[in-house]
Chains A and B, each alone.
Chain A
Amino acid sequence: MENSKIEQQLQQYEAQQSERLGLSQKPVHWHDAGLQSITPFDKRRDTVLFGGLTNAHDQLLLATLKGSGYHAQALPTPDNNALQCGKEFGNRGQCNPTYFTVGSLVHYLQSLRDQQGLSAQQIVDDYIFVTASTCGPCRFGMYVTEYRKALRDAGFDGFRVMSFQTEKSVANEPLAFPLSKRLSLALIRALVIADVINALGYRMRPYEVNEGETDRAQAESITLVSRAIAQGRGLGRALKQSRKWLDGVELNLLQAKPKVSVIGEFWAMTTEGEGNYRLQRFLESEGAECEVQPIAAWFLYLIWAERASHAEETRAGQHSTWAGRAQQLKLNLVARMLTGYFQHIAKQLGLHHYKLTDMDQLAKTSEHYYPSQLRGGEGHMEVAKLIQSFRDKKHHLVLSVKPFGCMPSSAVSDGIQPLVTAHYPEANFLAVETSGDGAVNVYSRVQMALFRARKSAEAEYLAQWSKYQPDEAEITTKVAKKRYYPHHVAGTAANAIITLGFSPGSE
């Protein structure tokens, strides 16, 4: 018999015997099927899902995407149902922004399937979810993993979670959402306008004379601006009209209210839902004015981080001096343009005396406490903001809110803050962890810190009052004419008295 025939027969025999002996079964190794064959994003077919910021941001982003010809849908603000869903399908031991945001997507897809009758395959084929993602060292960099895991376990294997990649090395990934320059600028515009509308709300709501007026003006403004953005015309007119509505809210600024800076982990401090126990509203209901970092500041931090890393690499000799300088100039310009645009919108909507954080100053402020090369989460910003708040008399209370077990915030910033508070003993600082449940305890701790903040605000106000001794009727009339006053001390009412006290009758 020929050798080849013998070999063939032997092979057949061996296969047969292997089968009989139970040796033919090879172990199956898992590869993520969802990563193997990715259908590229199709603008005409796919509906873009997104969410996780505040209502104002989500609405304006939605309008921008629709205005650019996308089918898009903003997910509702994550609530406790989203949390439960996130916990069911997510890994154990995650932080609660992961559970809330991942759960929110799964919950929404389940509702498309169970209430609107779409099949899981239709959803997988026709929808995508877009999220910001970074290669940063904290869990935020791994959110997409969590989305994929939860979607797989919930029966939506292969659902495309796409991300805006910040790393050049992965810019051409199939799972990167194709973002044109034009669309990027339009999205940034939407975020900035939403930032300003939110900032106005935080400033006005505690002092409104008629309850609910600020919310109404904000909601009307968002609707109008959204319409203009979606239609691609009339944004200037919409902003003008919005300003009229917002300016129309009657305020009584002569109330000594504690000003609270809400810092901490990005999502926990910015969300306006159950993810942080509706903290901003709770503070306002307890008679405080709160200040929350706008999204634009986060962009400035990202630009700063890129600039700082590049500068360090240049100094080490990784880039030529000229290339280094050119990159510095470029990133500086981007930061200035963003700041300038923010101020432009702020002016249009009537938000005065509002400064975006100077990132260089922030890094310098924290350098003895928290190395600015440590990235992840808010990095050195939490520590720096705390120092600035009390050194510059900006707030009566700094409330650092973070998810339970947040790595950069709970395990690093909170560990360094005691050194800061030892150096600034007047600092009224409270760090609270959120997990979605246990609101009672968090509220109680906030009330504890607010007690002291309220006392400082009252003392500060009375001090200014006794210093300038204004006529009550006269100053009430004067204060009512101007809505915002420059910063001298923390309290809004005290700032009004100081400003008018220095230049009586100027307004």
Chain B
Amino acid sequence: MQQDQSFHIGIDVGSTTVKLVLVNSDMAIRWSAYQRHEGQQALKLLGLLQQLEDDFPALTLDDVPAYITGSGGTPLAEPLGARFIQEVNAVTLAVEYLHPDVRSVVELGGQDAKIIHFKGAAGSPERQVITSMNDKCASGTGATLDKCMIKVGISPADVAKIPHLPDKIHPVAAKCGVFAETDVVNLIKSAVPAEEILNSLADAIVMQNLTVLTRGNILQPNVLLLGGPNTYLPFLQACWRTRIVEVWREHQLELPSGPPEALIQVPENAQYYAAYGAVVFGVGETGEVRHYAGAEALQEYLQTGTSKLKRSRLQQGLWQDQAELNQFLEAYRQPHFQPRAFKSGEIVNAYVGIDGGSTSSKAVLMDVQGVLISKAYLLSKGNPIEDSKALLIQLNKSITQQGATLNIEGCGVTGYAGDVLQKALSTDANMVETIAHLRSAQHYCGGDIDVICDIGGQDIKVLFMKNGEIDHFKLSNQCSAGNGMLLQAMAQQFAVPLEKFAEVAFSAQSAPEFSYGCAVFLDSDRVNFQKEGYSREELFAGLCQVLPKNIWQYVVQVPRLAAFGRKFVLQGGTQHNLAAVKAQVDYIKQRVPGAEVSVHPHTGECGAIGAALEAIKQVKEKGYSDFIGLQNSLQLSFSAQTSEETRCRFCDNLCSRTFIDIEVPQQPQPVRHITGFACEKGQVESKEQVVSLAKLRRKLKSDYPNLVDYESRLLFSRFYHVVQPPTAKPLWWQRLKAAPEISKKVDRTQLRIGIPRVLNIYTIAPFMRAYLEALGIQPQQIQFSDQSSERLWEEGSRYGAIDPCFPAKVSLAHIHNLLNKHHQRKPLDLIWFPAITHLPQQSPHSRGSSSCPVVAGTPSVANAAFTKTRDLFTDAGVSYLSDVIDMQNETLLKQQLFDSFSEPLALARHESDWAVAQGLAAMQHCDAELQMRAEKVLHRAKRDHQVVLLLLARPYHSDPGLNHELLEAFQALGYPILSIRSLPRSSTFLQRYFGEDIARGQIKDMLDINDVWPENYASNSAQKVWAAKFAARHNNIAVIDLSSFKCGHDAPSYGLIERIINSSNTPYFALHDIDANKPSGSINIRIRTFSHTLENFCQQLARQAEQQAALTKRVFHKRQQLTTRPETAPDHFNEDLESEQSRLIARAALQPEAQATPLDSRGKKHGKQ
């Protein structure tokens, strides 16, 4: 060290790492260090400081100013004698100092993502610096990457070697870190190669930051990429380059000559910019200078200072006293499992069950009586086929090492990897996890279980039982707060082996009280508590305590646990952690008097056991096994291919598919498993197969109508023919008389108008079309945007500055679709995207008819997005019309539409008013058409004792791009599907369902919902609640309830709908957080579990029908007995039964709906219009 030089210390304490720089008077970095802190910021920093002091022994403490930055910097500033500066400002100063030519910076940290835009020349008065950070949610940051790297099983050293694979991108949701993990798990379990998964994740992170964090600004060149992930991951850098250059091209930015990718740089020392910037801040500051107090001061702070910190939200640890803890451990500690012993030379006949779980894979061997022989466990290595082979080797070894021989008589699989394993191993059973867990729990804990709670690595499944079958179930959706991964990630952050977690947690006497909820937010609590001086032990205990709250209150949402019974079984891998079990047991026992809580004896292998039990059953029934055999299984090999050749070209989505070809010994052809597709067409490879698939689809459509799909097409088609105004006077005369001020002559037949197919347009599209047609716009000149699809979203997703619900966000992509596809094909003159404040009201007793504020405001948001940097509408020569309209108040509507269109269409007032009337008539036609079809479906279902599914969702969820084509999956299972709009509304039809309520004075009309929800101000929500009431009253209806992630209007109705549905025991399937990406893994579990419930429901309906017939028969005979009337001919008995049935119903003052169908009268009415 040169004594004549002065030094500055810059420290950056981030969420996952600490960085330290020593800068000399020439502002050169003389020394630097970077280290992951594993949750021990102060301790790791101390290590670095000691290292610095060792390397620079002559560093005079009193003379060295120190500056600190970063999310964990504040509490360390005082003990270190350092001045604090916020990290984004530090980075800004560093970049301004080192790179005056840079105009945009993207820094990805552990939990923070920052974007800085520089406008105007450095030093000029016009200079503007616009900074933005991700919201509190850590989506799109290094933390997500870190967790997923663990999941795919790639070491940090190898990650840096991954090439950039822009053509092998699979859909991953990056808007939420936990959602991303779910998608990554799905990809892993579909055997997609790790490097493709990480490329997909990197691409998703880049897109998330570009669509949201830029706040609608374009990253202007030159761009600097900073932060740990950007520095160390070349494929991430490449993703940035690709995507940013795409944006530049899209916006036709003028760029200097040379390759544009060169304008995006990663500088040397990119990870130290915040620490360096802190020093730049200090050097430029005139205020107080503070001097580095030395490593010793920090050490003293660590020993004594942290105890003085104010600890918020302190609570008791996991136990009150040692005796209580010992008692718990004695009751719940599982004895070590001993595999069964065999004699040398013995042949062991057994069944194998494999559970390809999210983070681990498990397998068991069971004998034909269902007794466990051996089990094997493996943390997933990233590929289910390899994992299964390893498990089978383990199981085989457990037998062969005793000198015995294993003979596998059957094989069952379950879990995320079930499908691929079924194909590879040709298994006897492929069970959905929920049912596998149910069978396993009943096998060990008896048939009288009330609640089964299974906490796996990724999923939480809670099954509520009735008569030994699933009554209803709750599964965590994409958001998996409370799962095993949460504990695993925490353990990793603190470098504690997972099996030591409980020991560490039990050693704490107190704990911080975490706010329960989103897993990502829990981590920000963790950072906060650490700053307050909570120890690792206390944090572990606190996390265990929040787990049951997350399960029961956040995921399952049952505030009154006692209502579900008293016998609880806990299972799933997380129950290995006794600290988590203790928290669960305490939580349940506090709320359920006399609760009996047991832990499954093989808690991690429940799924595998269930699969093995099913295999035993299947083989018994078939009399043989399809399983390829142990030796063949061990010799399986496979290859995966994702390329342009494997891309699906059968629809607009152009899914990037992966073909996994599995070579099975003694089979001539490899077995092909295809993954990565969004719709059913992706599962086939040739046009012929697509044609036969379409045939099948058509047959399904006619057998089991899907009115949601029909509605989504009908709304935008031309089904209503407008009637011209009654006055036959020429237009010039009308103009002269009615609106002489309109002198402009517009040839309306030539005008072309685009309308985005989104949001409330799904309610009023027939109105809009008829309104325009009645004004003389040619039908073919009205152009709706395409249905939402992955492709449409990908092409037009880069305009937004915010992150609302997906239906609102995708609207911008629809405008992009109109401008960049339809306008290019044939020019549009106008895009009409009205801001609809009120929708048609359902009942005269409704309190309001408001539309969702997000939906109403989105046209203005779209206007901002498309005019911010450049007015893209003007550039394209298209007018954009987003005026407000009120669909409930006809007088106002007429005024509003006249105001909007008088100028662009040169309208007279009475023309517009006539067109409004035509629009409203079209809406009535549409409703009548749908209701007529639904009535037929319901009538048939009633007659044939069929189950009908009703979609409880907002009108725009009939867009297949928003409902993830979930309904098609149920249609394929043989269930007709109705939409809310299609439900018949005539009083005669509804009398049967709501007549009694009216008679009792609970409601005033058939559509009134004030008996359950007086605050029914919002139109769509009110319709959902009414439809739930109808479903509850109709014996044949089961319900599918869809809501988009962040839907603020649906949230208040969740509890109401559940109460209405549950009190009538209507089968119910809820998916409340649907978003851009389809979480196919978790959706599959739900569909398969619900279809199991539906099968039971079908049987129940059939049973009821039989009982009803028996009753009718008995009453019929009794009548004969009493009247002593001679016996009628037995051949006519069935007809008599039917008439008897009708009579019974009529006696109960209820009218059979078949007689009440007012089809004719409504048909005539339409004819008149």
Contact = CB atoms under 8 A, between A and B. Distances in A.
Interface of A: 1, 6, 9-10, 13-14, 17-18, 21-23, 27-32, 35-36, 80, 83-84, 87-89, 91-95, 133, 135-139, 141-146, 149, 153-154, 167, 169-170, 173, 175, 312-313, 315-318, 369-371, 373-377, 404-408, 410-412, 414-419, 421-422, 425-426, 432-433, 435-442, 444-445, 447-452
B714 interface: no
B553 A440 contact: no
A405 B525 CA distance: 19
Contacts, number: 315
Nearest to B1106: A21
B472 interface: no
A143 B852 CA distance: 15
Interface stretch (B240-248, B634-642, B934-942, B1060-1068): B1060-1068
B131 A448 contact: yes
B521 A435 contact: yes
A10 B1122 contact: yes
Interface of B: 71, 85-89, 111-112, 119, 128-131, 133, 135-136, 215-217, 313, 513, 515-517, 521-522, 524-525, 527-528, 531, 549, 553-554, 557, 559-560, 800-805, 808, 835, 837, 847-848, 850-854, 856-858, 860-861, 863-865, 867-869, 882-884, 889, 891-892, 894-896, 997, 1002, 1010-1015, 1017-1018, 1021, 1029, 1032-1033, 1043, 1046-1056, 1059-1060, 1063-1065, 1072-1073, 1104, 1107-1108, 1110-1111, 1114-1115, 1118-1119, 1122-1123, 1144
B54 to A, nearest CB: 32
Interface pairs A-B: 10 shortest CB-CB: A412-B857, A415-B861, A316-B895, A376-B853, A411-B804, A419-B864, A137-B850, A418-B216, A93-B1051, A438-B524
Given A441-B71, A448-B131, A27 B1123 contact: no
Contacts of B1012: 30-32
Contacts of A154: 559
Contacts of B865: 415, 418
Nearest to A317: B891
Give the most central of B85, B215, B531: most A CB within 10 Å: B215
Nearest to B555: A92
A144 B847 CA distance: 14
Contacts of A452: 89, 129, 131
A214 B802 CA distance: 39
Nearest to B896: A316
A374 B884 contact: yes
A444 B86 CA distance: 7
B1032 A27 contact: yes
Contact of A93 (B87, B864, B997, B1054): B1054
13 contacts: A23-B1111, A30-B1012, A31-B1011, A91-B1054, A92-B1051, A137-B850, A137-B852, A145-B1052, A167-B847, A371-B884, A373-B835, A437-B525, A444-B86
B875 to A, nearest CB: 16
Nearest to A32: B1012
A12 B1104 CA distance: 20
Contacts of B1051: 91-94, 139
Contacts of A87: 515-517, 553-554
B517 A407 contact: no
Contacts of A6: 1119, 1122-1123
A18 B1147 CA distance: 15
A93 B1072 contact: yes
Contact of A425 (B119, B513, B1011): B119
Nearest to A24: B1111
A146 B894 contact: no
Most chain B C-beta atoms within 10 Å of own C-beta, residue among A35, A94, A438: A438
Contacts of A312: 892, 895
A431 to B, nearest CB: 9
A146 B1013 CA distance: 11
A440 B891 contact: no
A145 B1059 contact: no
B86 A447 contact: yes
Nearest to B1011: A31
Contact of A448 (B133, B891, B1046, B1053): B133
B1055 A91 contact: yes
Contact of B528 (A153, A422, A439): A439
A164 B1002 CA distance: 24
Nearest to A372: B884
Contacts of A28: 1063-1064
Contacts of B1108: 23
Nearest to A408: B853
Given A135-B1017, A405-B1046, A92 B557 contact: yes
Contacts of B837: 137, 373-375
B805 A136 contact: no
Contacts of B1060: 29-30
Contacts of A417: 801
Given A425-B128, A442-B136, A318 B889 contact: yes
- Looking at B71, B850, B894, B1072, the one whose CB has the most chain A CB atoms below 10 A away is B850
A29 B71 contact: no
B1122 A9 contact: yes
Contacts of A136: 850, 1017
Nearest to B119: A425
Contacts of A138: 853, 1048
Contacts of A317: 891, 895
A141 to B, nearest CB: 5
A1 B1124 CA distance: 10
Contacts of A369: 860, 864
Contacts of A375: 837, 853
B892 A316 contact: yes
B1111 A17 contact: yes
A149 B1057 CA distance: 12
Given A29-B1033, A92-B1051, A141 B1011 contact: no
A208 B1021 CA distance: 51
B271 to A, nearest CB: 19
A313 B128 CA distance: 45
A414 B800 CA distance: 10
B917 to A, nearest CB: 15
Contacts of A31: 997, 1002, 1011-1012
Given A31-B1012, A136-B850, A137-B851, A438 B525 contact: yes
A17 B313 CA distance: 61
Contacts of A416: 857, 860-861, 864
Contacts of B1047: 93
A472 to B, nearest CB: 18
A406 to B, nearest CB: 8
Most buried by A among B129, B802, B1072: B802
A84 B515 contact: yes
B872 to A, nearest CB: 12
B527 A17 contact: no
Given A318-B889, A425-B119, A440 B1015 contact: no
Nearest to A446: B86
A149 B559 CA distance: 11
B1015 A92 contact: no
Nearest to A437: B515
A23 B1110 CA distance: 11
A135 B850 contact: yes
Contacts of A405: 1046, 1048
B802 A411 contact: yes
A407 B1048 contact: yes
Contacts of A145: 1013, 1015, 1052-1053, 1056
Nearest to A93: B1051
Nearest to B1065: A27
Contacts of B891: 313, 316-318
B852 A418 contact: no
A36 B1011 CA distance: 8
Given A35-B1014, A137-B851, A415 B800 contact: yes
B1104 A23 contact: yes
